[in-house]
A and B are shown apart, each in its own frame.
Chain A
Amino acid sequence: MFRFILGRLLQGLLVLFALYTITFFLAKAMPGEPFTTEKNVSETTKQYLRKLYGLDKPLPAQYIIYPSKIITDRDFGVSTSKGRPVRDIIAQSFPVSLILGLGAMSFAIGIGIPIGIISAVRKNSWVDWSLMAVAMVGICVPAFTIGPLLQILIAANVPGLKVAGWGNPLDFLLPAFTLGLVSAAYLARLTRGGVLEILSQDFIRTAHAKGLSPTRVILKHGLRGGLLPSVAYLGPAFAAMISGSFIVETIFQVPGMGQHFVNAAISRDEFLLMGVALFFGFLIIMMNLISDILTGILDPRVRIGKAAQ
């Protein structure tokens, strides 16, 4: 187990390095520079700005300086568009996204998995079809439609709920629901598929034959294997949810991390861009690792010890 985790962590480092390289060169390939503005900024001023941010150095030097500063000083550079350290920006926005992501995740699991199980148990009945139809809608309708609809139909009419803003505990309900909806729909379909596959296997028939109650068969034996596809999906999905969503954040005015991915690219803020990309990469790697470990625990067929060799 230890060797497996160590191996995956080393792999993760390589992935992060590749991610950094790609982001760095893509950022450099974009036309314009962070100091391109409408204002009448003189060449002299631009020269001083480049020097200030270390952008006057040759490309190979810049390529090496950024990661070394992260390693030695945990310094992710200063955002050119926000005028403050990237580290502070992530430190301020990530907790918000984490809360929102956890809420979205709870919605997704709390709605998606029960729907999936019910659909599987009532296979090919009207219950199954209608639930799956709803799930399909959930997958297809984008957040920028659901969000405003929730604002207009629910927030504007339910006392205590605000259309947007972040400060009161209730503020998190609608954005979390919007963010979690797509995942809930995916989870419902994945769970249905997974559970159905398991329910058709011999050991389930044996369990039934031995006289176990149907609930026990489904929840104990069916679900254990049936959840595997969902668990594999949840790792990266969770990482995506807690690193924020540009759309949900701008619709509901949530001070999370998602908007920085888009805004940093638009404003050529390469330090912020690389900072959030690396942070997101790190989250994905960790979540994938956790989901792999969980899969191992759920599914005895996956021999973690062997996989590492």
Chain B
Amino acid sequence: MSYISKKTVKKHLFGILIIFSLGGCGGETAVDQATRDGILIIGNTSEPKGLDPHIVSGVLESNIIGSLFEGLVVQHPSQEGVALPGVAEKWYPSNPDRPDEWIFELRKDAKWSDGEPLTAEDFLFAFRRILTPELASDYAFMLFYIRDAEPFHKSQRAYLIFRNDESFPVKWESLKKVDFGPNEKADKKTFNRKGLDHLTAKELETLQATPSHFNWPESVAVEIRELIVSKSLEFAKSGRDLWELINFGATAPNAHTLKVKLNAPLPFLAEITKHYTWFPVPKHVVLEHGTIGERFTDWTKPANLVGNGAFKLKSWRFNDHIEVERNPNYWDADNVGIYGIRYLPISNLFTEDRMFYDGLLHITYTLAPELIEYSRTHYPEFVRNELYLGTYFIRTNVTREPFTDPRVRLAFSMALDQEAIIDNVLQGGQKPAGGLVPPFGGYPTSSAVKFDPVAAQKLLAEAGYPGGKGLPDIEFLTTDKESSKATAEAMQAIWKKHLGANIKIKQMEWTSYITNMFDKNYDLAAGGWIGDYMDPLTFLDMWMKDAGNNRTGWSSETFEKLLAEAGQTSDPQARYALLAKAESLFLNERPILPLYWYTRNYLIHPDVKGWDPLLLDNHPYKFLKLQRDTGAMEN
């Protein structure tokens, strides 16, 4: 117990002693004072997992990281999909007709918060770091657009050794079934479990001596097996890094130019670079505290953290608050509107809302669904209801009866009375989902999903279940939240009424729920998806056969062909048309049943100026202002 500092204990004890010496203090709320001081106080649900942009993967972390770091471009404070200069002053494709190589001209006055200059080298270091397999970043796939990022991150050793080797006797594609990567389902005693590319030199030697340790597909000839093992061993023994084998797409022609070569044209690359996975990290600080692939180092500790954002870390009390203050070394410091931000990790929605009404918060993270009606009546000027780039849907398990039949899936989707659920259960002003991709920008929003119980009954009858006769009991998997239960029960009643289906609701706590979904141990499962960036692809590519988040068992070659074709199309409108075609194909098959498009309900104090609705809720803090709004909170 000696590690509990005596000072801390003393400090708190002292606090208790002076309680009684304090009288009641009057009138001014914490928010009033904060507005005067230019400090924004904001609810942020929970304690962040950390502040390393390469390790975290959550929204609440992104809210804090967005103030401490800045990417190549910055989100416009009120216009969707518009990028303003960040570290980059200018950005453009080398060839406008085929935007698969982008040039970012970095500003020469960009600095880290410790005063060190920020150069293209910091970006290259950051890209390499997040892709380094040992760092085990959850979100590294956001950089897979860059040439050779994926094979490096996935440690595809054999592929990288042989891909340019013209003497290699067979086509690499013919080796698709070999367990180069880890295979969870393989026998524990074989090397298949670990994957050929992950074997150490010693293990490869063992394999060379006893080939039976690794199960090859029959189709792979013995000499090819031997060749792969021996070359892999040679490489492993050399102690070289896979980085040397790749031709990484990102380069720095000079200290202030960053060139990014992609696998395919990407007209919206700037949008993607708004995501924190693309942010730079200070090479000099990270390496001072550890190596490039080391996950637990002290560089993000409050005393060491160096960023390049409009703000820098001021104080961090675990589970209590994180506060940031203006960064004087920020290139645009003169135009930053507020002096600091205080993030509070308030996990209880009701507590958060009560704190808001008690004048302790400028902005809540969310508004408890139960309090929406109350808030609209009593504090209409504080309630915001905004569209959010996300879709709520129900996954069907297409590998299990009765959802193997697309007609059954369509029937269940058409019987879903979206509006009734939104109006009576959710009550958060959500929009009935007409398709998978929520409405935004120039993309043609789908309206394929419609409530039509008569057609639904007809389809179900055609599939061999007239009036629900013959349908097995259907298990509906959802989370243990109270709101999940209410939504599930509403759907249960609706499907019973329109289709005569018997639904059994199975509520599970979060990790069990995810695990069961991964293992396809469900019939129907509630789910949802929030877009990572402003493009339909963020909703579509997750339904490819090998995508980790598919989990329905559904796949379609035509669908994937359309996505691939879109990936090679530079013209934005033609590309959208191809993606819309893919979405339409997907909706015809309907492996998921879209229910609604998300909205965000939250409370905001009128003192906060410049907080406009943004679909990704990625408000750039530097444009905000705090001004006393007389008359607010007087009631």
Contacts and interface: CB of A to CB of B under 8 A. Distances in A.
Contacts of B335: none
Contacts of B3: 74, 87, 91
Contact of B25 (A81, A91, A94, A160): A160
A196 interface: no
A155 B358 contact: yes
Contacts of B139: 39
B358 A95 contact: no
B16 A252 contact: no
Contacts of B134: 48, 52
A190 interface: no
A202 interface: no
Contacts of B137: 45
Interface string B435-452: 000000000000000000
A84 B358 contact: no
A78 B296 contact: yes
B205 interface: no
A48 B136 contact: yes
A49 B358 CA distance: 43
A36 B511 CA distance: 7
Interface stretch (B70-78, B230-238, B341-349): B341-349
A134 interface: no
A42 B19 contact: no
B369 interface: no
Given A152-B354, A163-B351, A163-B355, A99 B15 contact: yes
Contact of B319 (A40, A92, A148, A252): A92
Interface string A248-288: 00111101100100000011100000000000000000000
Interface residues of A, number: 66
A93 B57 CA distance: 24
A300 interface: no
A266 B55 CA distance: 20
Given A30-B511, A167-B320, A148 B346 contact: no
A43 B320 contact: no
A36 B15 contact: no
Given A45-B133, A151-B354, A160 B4 contact: no
Contacts of B30: 162
Contacts of A37: 57, 138, 514
A98 B320 CA distance: 16
Interface string B319-341: 11000000000000000000000
A32 B511 contact: yes
A164 B141 contact: no
A289 B139 CA distance: 49
Which of B4, B183, B344, B542: most chain A CB closer than 10 A?
B4
Contacts of B184: 43
Contact of B24 (A42, A45, A158, A266): A158
Interface stretch (A110-118, A168-176, A224-232, A291-299): A168-176
A41 B138 contact: yes
Which of A48, A84, A160: most chain B CB closer than 10 A?
A48
Interface in B347-397: 347-348, 350-351, 354-355, 357-358, 360
A96 B9 CA distance: 8
A45 B136 contact: yes
A257 to B, nearest CB: 10
Interface residues of B, number: 72
A83 B515 contact: no
A172 B351 contact: no
Contacts of A82: 47, 49
B569 to A, nearest CB: 24
Given A255-B317, A266-B509, A170 B351 contact: no
A12 interface: no
Contacts of A170: 19, 22
Given A40-B547, A52-B295, A251-B351, A163 B25 contact: no
Nearest to B61: A83
A47 interface: yes
A83 B141 contact: no
A164 B549 contact: no
Contacts of A83: 49-50, 55-56, 296
A4 interface: no
Given A41-B138, A84-B50, A255-B320, A95 B12 contact: yes
Interface in B41-85: 47, 49-50, 55-57
B155 A40 contact: no
A281 B209 CA distance: 51
B344 A253 contact: yes
A159 B295 contact: no
A271 to B, nearest CB: 12
B154 interface: yes
B635 interface: no
Nearest to A95: B8
B136 A49 contact: yes
Nearest to B529: A38
A30 B348 CA distance: 25
B117 interface: no
Given A30-B511, A40-B547, A47-B194, A98 B12 contact: yes
A44 B155 contact: yes
Contact of A162 (B26, B183, B360, B510): B360
B365 to A, nearest CB: 13
B221 interface: no
Contact of B182 (A44, A173, A251, A268): A44
A48 B138 CA distance: 11
A60 interface: no
Interface in A71-89: 74, 78, 81-84, 87-89
B210 interface: no
B303 interface: no
B511 A268 contact: yes
A44 B515 contact: no
A31 interface: yes
Q: Report the 4 A-B pairs with minimum CB-CB distance, sorted nearest first.
A: A255-B319, A160-B24, A32-B511, A40-B548
5 contacts: A38-B549, A40-B548, A42-B141, A49-B136, A148-B354
